[in-house]
């Protein structure tokens, strides 16, 4: 293998596939990046067996030559060193050549590295996915949907299925749901698909978070293919594979209350800041719990108390309070996470009593909801 | 105590004194910030007994009212909570009032915090320093001198005196020296002083690093007062006290070679980058050692070798090579630290053999030198 390549393209591509590489693997070759030349260009692959990322650096882009292949071939190089080296090379062009028994020479300017490489044939094969039933989502919408749900997955392995985000595809819609059993985030969006296939799968939270990091903010579509145990995200030069979690995701629809006893309208930013202040003292307590009470004249009182340190009390003006008076306690962290995930400057919160889950939604937007279970303190 | 204060001033001042506050103290009251009102304004104090910082927020600045004092007094508030609270208060004005048994009310907009406080009389007194023999250095020069020497102090407690930076004041000059016995950094500058007093003291590295963080980049003078066991840095609204290290600093002047067998001229940036690249593989080894050899036609070769991973070799053009041929090995980290500390785009390095310390200086500037001991590998 021998080729010359524009440094910027290689650096970007290496950064992308590095997202899948971990040093904590039981398969030594997976600490490496697989580099293969094809007619189309140079393909880099990184994998931790849960996530695999393949990035293609095309021979040419926008009429500009990017890769110049002198001899076909491949090698696996230690990801940790290779990624650091390419970042720091002095010249805009890098020449990479496998000399013998996979020893690889990397030349740029007057610097020359020799790295011991491995046989790419020994690198595990990526899952083979039949590209039927592709559906499409714009990249930026996909990133938003991940951001709005991912944070609510469970970080505990007691119920492994809850460490993933449930994706249901049905009737031209994608419904993403995450819950750690104390709060729940749900986001719905229309998808573009030629098939009527239904899916109900659970994607590891970590996979979605890594995917989100390597996608740009364009409105170009991402192709998504779901199989029995894998999901593939496909952009112009990138393939992102993730395994799916095994098991059935709990039916969360019955958790969402349908009736309302008290409803508040609030300005997202003001309410978020007051919860943030109240949580400054609450953090010391075991649960980071703040209290909310409705007062007269559309005033909501947010408070918390930490006997050893002190207390805080704050009044927030509500746009509208309807229904019964309410005193309720909840995790400040969950509330802040939920408010940050919502879009829109105004929200409404629907309560059905101090001990029942409550639902936060942006005004005039039913595509997203955040649900939080209160804490018993009153 | 009762006063109203502009939030921005309080936030800045709290940030400054927080630099001295640590949660790891055996004196519980030192986890707090002392707040005292005087005729001049509000004084905040933070201390970990090694470093003490006092910040004055003046009643008025630039003709603008900053503090409005309603009732004199003082209190000590938990630094961790107080600092977080003031940052997040909603309004530009903050009212602080001690109500009873040092319980303190903090009001801003519609938020009201009550914090349990302590008696300021129980807060340790700051050292009393007679302000004779003051000398002056511009703030930005002081920060530069700290940056250029501080990094070379020892991080090991085997010789505690080496964890500090030696400051000698003599003949209208300040000479700062730091060494961890493997490398040495020295910087000299003229000072402004009405006295002819000589000093030879050792300031804890940590104190200088914290001082550097709270000084701005102005050219206004810092007043410096040295006593037997304390040093005081004084700016317009800030007093920064540090204890001095006890013991005699080793005589480092005899370490610095006076003769030269090989001399190289190099472009700082190119040389730094080539060392950085060579160290990518060297880091895996035990010492992060790179090799330098002089070749013909003014070429310097930088290389390193890590048998399991690979090797790197790079040629750097020297502006001039004089004297004997040389092969020498040294720590890439020490060289990079030294090169980053030097000012100027061109440097010269003076060697007196492969096993003797060598000296790096900017071209045409004798106010700073960096010395490194080589590593035996050839």
The verdict on A85 touching B (C-beta cutoff 8 Å) is yes
CA distance A153 to B196: 68
Side-chain half-sphere CA neighbours of A295 within 13 A: 13
Q: How many CB atoms lie within 10 A of CB A233?
A: 23
Give B272→chain A minimum CA distance, Å: 11
User: In which element (H, E) is residue A4 found?
Assistant: strand A2-6
The parent domain of residue A357 ranges over 256-372
Structure token digits, residue B110: 């519609």
Search chain B and give the residue with CA nearest A315: B110
Q: Of A122, A148, A178, which marks where a domain is finished?
A: A122
User: In which element (H, E) is residue B148 found?
Assistant: helix B139-149
Helix (H, G, I), strand (E, B) or coil at A156: coil
pLDDT mean values, one per 10 residues, chain B (378 residues): 97 97 91 96 96 97 95 96 96 96 96 97 91 90 97 95 97 96 96 89 97 94 94 96 96 92 96 96 78 94 92 94 95 96 93 95 94 86
Which DSSP state fits A39? S
Please indicate, yes or no, if residue A149 is contained in any of the structural domains.
Answer: yes
CA distance B243 to B160: 14
CA distance B13 to B222: 18
Search chain B and give the residue with CA nearest A118: B309
Structure token digits, residue A180: 């750690």
The verdict on A310 touching B (C-beta cutoff 8 Å) is yes
Give B23→chain A minimum CA distance, Å: 15
Please indicate, yes or no, if residue A129 is contained in any of the structural domains.
Answer: no
**What is the residue whose two structure tokens read 């899952």?**
A127
Which DSSP state fits A337? H
Q: What is the pLDDT of residue A116?
A: 96
Whether residue B35 is found in the same domain as residue B90? yes
Q: What is the pLDDT of residue A193?
A: 86
Contact call for residues B41 and B263 (beta carbons, < 8 A): no
Contact B311 A84 (CB under 8 A): no
Whether residue A248 is found in the same domain as residue A261? no
Model confidence over A223-262: pLDDT tens digits? Answer: 999 998 999 999 999 999 999 999 999 999 889 999 999 9
Contact B315 A89 (CB under 8 A): no
Whether residue A230 is found in the same domain as residue A264? no
The verdict on A274 touching B (C-beta cutoff 8 Å) is yes
Give the CATH number for residue B61.
Answer: 3.10.150.10
The verdict on B336 touching A (C-beta cutoff 8 Å) is no
Q: How confident is the model at residue A118 (pLDDT cuts 50, 70, 90)?
A: very high
Structure token digits, residue A102: 């996979």
**What is the residue whose two structure tokens read 């573009």?**
A192
Q: Of A218, A253, A288, which marks where a domain is finished?
A: A253
Please tell me whether the interface predicted TM-score (ipTM) of this complex is above 0.85: yes
Handedness of CA A2, A7, A9, A14 (dihedral sign): positive
Q: Which of B59, B58, B46, B38 is nearest to B19 (CA)?
A: B46
Whether residue B144 is found in the same domain as residue B242? yes
Contact call for residues B378 and B326 (beta carbons, < 8 A): no
Q: What is the pLDDT of residue A25?
A: 87
Which DSSP state fits A30? G
Whether residue B355 is found in the same domain as residue B286? yes
Give B87→chain A minimum CA distance, Å: 10
The verdict on B85 touching A (C-beta cutoff 8 Å) is yes
Q: What is the pLDDT of residue A285?
A: 63
The residues pairing with A299 across neighbouring beta strands, listed in sequence order, are: A317
Task: Give the residue-averaged pLDDT of A133-162.
Answer: 95
Please indicate, yes or no, if residue A377 is contained in any of the structural domains.
Answer: no
CA distance B20 to B11: 15
Q: Select the residue from B98, B103, B110 to test the A interface by mutation, using most A Cβ atoms within 10 A.
A: B110
Whether residue B78 is found in the same domain as residue B185? no
> B177-193 burial, b if ≥16 CB within 10 A, otherwise e?
bbbbebbbbbbebebeb
Give B301→chain A minimum CA distance, Å: 10
Q: At what angle do helices B79-88 and B7-18 cross, to 10 degrees?
A: 150
Please indicate, yes or no, if residue A92 is contained in any of the structural domains.
Answer: yes
The verdict on B276 touching A (C-beta cutoff 8 Å) is yes
For chain A, report the end-to-end CA distance as a whole number of angstroms: 71
> Counting one residue from A and one from B, how many pairs have CB atoms under 8 Å apart?
82
Sheet containing strand A32-37, edge to edge, reads A74-78, A32-37, A41-47, A51-58, A238-243, A230-234, A221-226, A135-138, A192-193
Whether residue A15 is found in the same domain as residue A102? yes
Whether residue B103 is found in the same domain as residue B159? no
Whether residue A6 is found in the same domain as residue A116? yes
Whether residue B192 is found in the same domain as residue B244? yes
3-state helix, strand, coil in chain A (%, to 5): 20, 45, 35
Contact call for residues B86 and A277 (beta carbons, < 8 A): no
Give the rounded distance of the alpha carbon of A251 from its chain centre. 22
CA dihedral B266, B267, B273, B274 (to 10 degrees): -30
Of the candidates A116, A309, A314, the beta carbon closest to that of B78 is on A309
CA distance A265 to A281: 25
Instruction: Kindly give, in sequence order, each residue whose CB lies less than 8 Å from that of residue A373, ignoring residues fewer than 6 positions away.
Output: A182, A183, A330, A357
Task: Give the residue-averaged pLDDT of A203-208.
Answer: 97
CA distance B32 to B47: 9
Of the candidates B85, B103, B309, the beta carbon closest to that of A78 is on B309
Predicted confidence (pLDDT) at residue A133 exceeds the cutoff of 90? no
Query: What's the CA angle centered on B24, arms B21 and B27, to 5 degrees?
Result: 80
Predicted confidence (pLDDT) at residue A40 exceeds the cutoff of 70? yes
CA distance A50 to B40: 64
Burial class, B15, CB count within 10 angstroms (exposed 0-12 / middle 13-18 / buried 19+): middle
Please indicate, yes or no, if residue B377 is contained in any of the structural domains.
Answer: no
Please indicate, yes or no, if residue B335 is contained in any of the structural domains.
Answer: yes
Q: What is the pLDDT of residue A378?
A: 52
Whether residue B31 is found in the same domain as residue B103? yes
- How many domains are there within chain A? 3
Contact B85 A316 (CB under 8 A): no
A314 chain-B contacts, CB cut-off 8 A: 110-112
Structure token digits, residue A322: 């309807």
Tell me the DSSP string of A191-235: -EES----EEEEEEHHHHHHHHHHS-S--PEEEEEE-SSEEEEE-
Mean of all residue pLDDT scores within chain A: 94
B311 chain-A contacts, CB cut-off 8 A: 113-114
The verdict on B81 touching A (C-beta cutoff 8 Å) is yes
Contact A114 B274 (CB under 8 A): no
Please indicate, yes or no, if residue A148 is contained in any of the structural domains.
Answer: yes
Model confidence over A297-352: pLDDT tens digits? Answer: 899 999 999 888 999 999 999 989 999 999 999 999 999 999 999 988 999 999 99
The verdict on A301 touching B (C-beta cutoff 8 Å) is no
Whether residue A160 is found in the same domain as residue A173? yes
Contact A111 B312 (CB under 8 A): yes
Q: Of B209, B235, B250, which marks where a domain is finished?
A: B250
Which DSSP state fits A272? H
Q: Which of B57, B49, B241, B56 is nearest to B131 (CA)?
A: B241
Burial class, A158, CB count within 10 angstroms (exposed 0-12 / middle 13-18 / buried 19+): exposed
Give the CATH number for residue A294.
Answer: 3.70.10.10
> B64-78 burial, b if ≥16 CB within 10 A, otherwise e?
eebbebeeebbbbbb
Please indicate, yes or no, if residue A15 is contained in any of the structural domains.
Answer: yes
């Amino acid at each position: 293998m021998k080729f010359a390549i524009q440094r910027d393209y290689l650096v970007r591509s290496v950064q992308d596939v590095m997202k899948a590489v971990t040093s904590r693997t039981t398969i030594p070759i997976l600490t490496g990046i697989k580099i293969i030349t094809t007619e189309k260009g140079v393909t880099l692959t990184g994998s931790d067996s849960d996530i695999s990322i393949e990035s293609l650096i095309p021979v040419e882009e926008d009429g500009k030559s990017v890769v110049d292949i002198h001899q076909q071939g491949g090698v696996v190089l230690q990801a940790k060193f290779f990624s650091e080296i390419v970042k720091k090379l002095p010249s805009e062009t890098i020449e990479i050549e496998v000399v013998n028994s996979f020893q690889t020479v990397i030349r740029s300017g007057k610097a020359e590295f020799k790295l011991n490489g491995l046989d790419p044939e020994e690198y595990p094969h990526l899952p083979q996915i039949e590209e039927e039933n592709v559906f499409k989502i714009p990249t930026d919408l996909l990133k938003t949907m991940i951001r709005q749900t991912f944070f609510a997955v469970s970080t505990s392995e007691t119920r492994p299925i809850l460490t993933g985000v449930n994706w249901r595809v049905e009737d031209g819609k994608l419904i993403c749901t995450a819950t750690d059993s104390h709060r729940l985030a749900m986001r719905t969006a229309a998808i573009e698909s030629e098939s009527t296939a239904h899916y109900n799968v659970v994607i590891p939270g970590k996979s979605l978070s890594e995917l989100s990091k390597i996608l740009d903010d364009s409105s170009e579509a991402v192709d998504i293919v779901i199989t029995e145990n894998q999901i593939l995200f496909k952009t112009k030069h990138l393939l992102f594979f993730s395994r799916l979690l095994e098991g059935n995701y709990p039916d969360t629809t019955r958790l969402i209350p349908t009736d309302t006893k008290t409803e508040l309208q609030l300005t997202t930013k003001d309410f978020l800041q007051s919860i943030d202040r109240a949580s400054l003292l609450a953090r010391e307590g075991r649960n980071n719990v703040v209290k909310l009470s409705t007062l007269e004249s559309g005033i909501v009182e947010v408070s918390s108390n930490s006997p050893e340190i002190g207390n805080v009390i704050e009044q927030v003006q509500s746009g509208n309070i309807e229904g019964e008076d309410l005193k309720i306690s909840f995790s400040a962290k969950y509330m802040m996470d939920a408010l940050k995930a919502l879009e829109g400057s105004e929200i409404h919160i629907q309560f059905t009593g101090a001990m029942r889950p409550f639902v936060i939604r942006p005004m005039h937007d039913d595509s997203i909801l955040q649900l939080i279970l209160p804490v018993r303190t009153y």
